[in-house]
Each structure stands twice: as structure tokens, then as C-alpha cells.
């Protein structure tokens, strides 16, 4: 992370290619934070890498398997839209991955909001405005009242 975010006025020189190499090495050793970072790199084409849906989904899946909540939430998004030739769209999987990220010990506000939306609209679950309000309320509390 230091090589990715270093400013050129400091002792460390910013080197995104080297940062990528270090993330990749750590990810291959099973470090879930590096796996999640690579999922994002390939999803958005960061660190001078091309967008690669297959690699993004693969790295998020590895990190999510270890309980990395941001990756769980990102997989929800991938399932919601699908990736042609890579991942079949599934409302049920989108709902389940968002729920996993929203019901963790430290739920992500975005996942709580997504659960509200999924429940309001009926994506992967029965439509329920009352349940949606509860999810939205939890998201608002988590977002506005962070420690």
C-alpha cells in the first residue's frame, strides 16, 4: 500500500507496478486484503492494469471465502449485473452476498443499503417495504453514527 499511495515528496517513491507485484504475491499466499485489492484493481482497471472481469470475480471470490466483507459486497454487484461469458446474472446470489456483508460483525453501510433496496424492490427475496425500512434505518445509523 505504501508504494501505491506514496507521494513523491517523501522517502518512498510511488511505484504502482511494484505495488501490484506485492499485492499479487501476498494474494497468492492467501492474504485476503490483497485478494480484495486485486479484485478492485481488475474491476476498475487500476494500477495500470486492464479491466478483467474474470480476474476481478476470481480474486473477490477468494477473499470472500475468507470472510472479507468488501469482497462479499462486490460479489453481490457482480451477480446483480452478471458478466457475459464469465458469471451468470443471479438475483438470488446478489441478495445472498449482500446479506452476508450486511450481517457481519462490522456490517458495511453500503451492504445494509443494498439490502434495503433489494428488499424494497424484491431482488432475490420477497418484496417487503417494512423490512426495507429496517435495512435502510440500519444503513443510516451505520453511516451517520460511525465511531
* Domain residue ranges of the chain, discontinuous segments joined by +: 1-66, 91-147
Residues 120, 57, 39, 49: is their CA dihedral positive or negative?
negative
Radius of gyration of the chain (CA): 17
Using DSSP, state whether 88 is helix, strand or coil: coil
Checking if the pLDDT of 56 tops 70, the result is yes
Q: What's the mean pLDDT when you consider all of the chain?
A: 94
Checking if the pLDDT of 135 tops 60, the result is yes
pLDDT (mean) for 2-12: 80
Confidence of residue 81 (pLDDT cuts 50, 70, 90): very high
The model carries a pTM of 0.91
Residue 2 exposed, middle or buried by CB count within 10 Å (0-12, 13-18, 19+) = exposed
Q: Which of 1-5, 51-55, 126-130 has the lowest mean pLDDT?
A: 1-5
Q: Which of 6-10, 34-38, 95-99 has the lowest mean pLDDT?
A: 6-10
Checking if the pLDDT of 9 tops 80, the result is no
What's the pLDDT at 38? Answer: 98
Stated as kind and residue range, the H or E segment containing 97 is: helix 91-102
Amino acid at each position: 500500500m505504501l508504494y501505491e499511495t506514496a507521494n513523491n515528496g517523501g522517502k518512498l517513491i510511488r511505484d504502482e507496478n511494484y505495488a501490484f507485484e506485492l499485492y499479487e504475491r501476498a494474494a497468492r499466499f492467501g492474504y485476503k486484503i490483497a485478494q480484495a485489492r486485486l479484485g478492485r484493481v481488475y474491476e476498475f482497471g487500476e494500477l495500470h492494469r486492464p479491466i478483467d472481469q474474470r480476474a476481478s470475480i476470481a480474486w473477490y471470490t477468494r477473499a470472500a471465502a475468507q470472510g472479507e466483507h468488501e469482497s462479499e459486497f462486490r460479489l453481490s454487484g457482480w451477480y446483480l449485473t452478471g458478466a457475459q461469458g464469465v458469471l451468470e446474472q443471479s438475483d438470488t446470489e446478489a441478495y445472498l452476498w449482500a446479506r452476508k456483508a450486511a450481517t457481519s460483525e462490522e456490517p458495511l453501510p453500503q451492504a445494509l443499503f443494498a439490502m434495503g433496496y433489494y428488499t424494497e424492490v424484491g431482488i432475490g427475496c420477497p418484496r417487503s417495504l417494512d423490512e426495507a425500512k429496517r435495512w435502510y434505518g440500519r444503513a443510516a445509523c451505520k453511516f451517520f453514527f460511525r465511531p
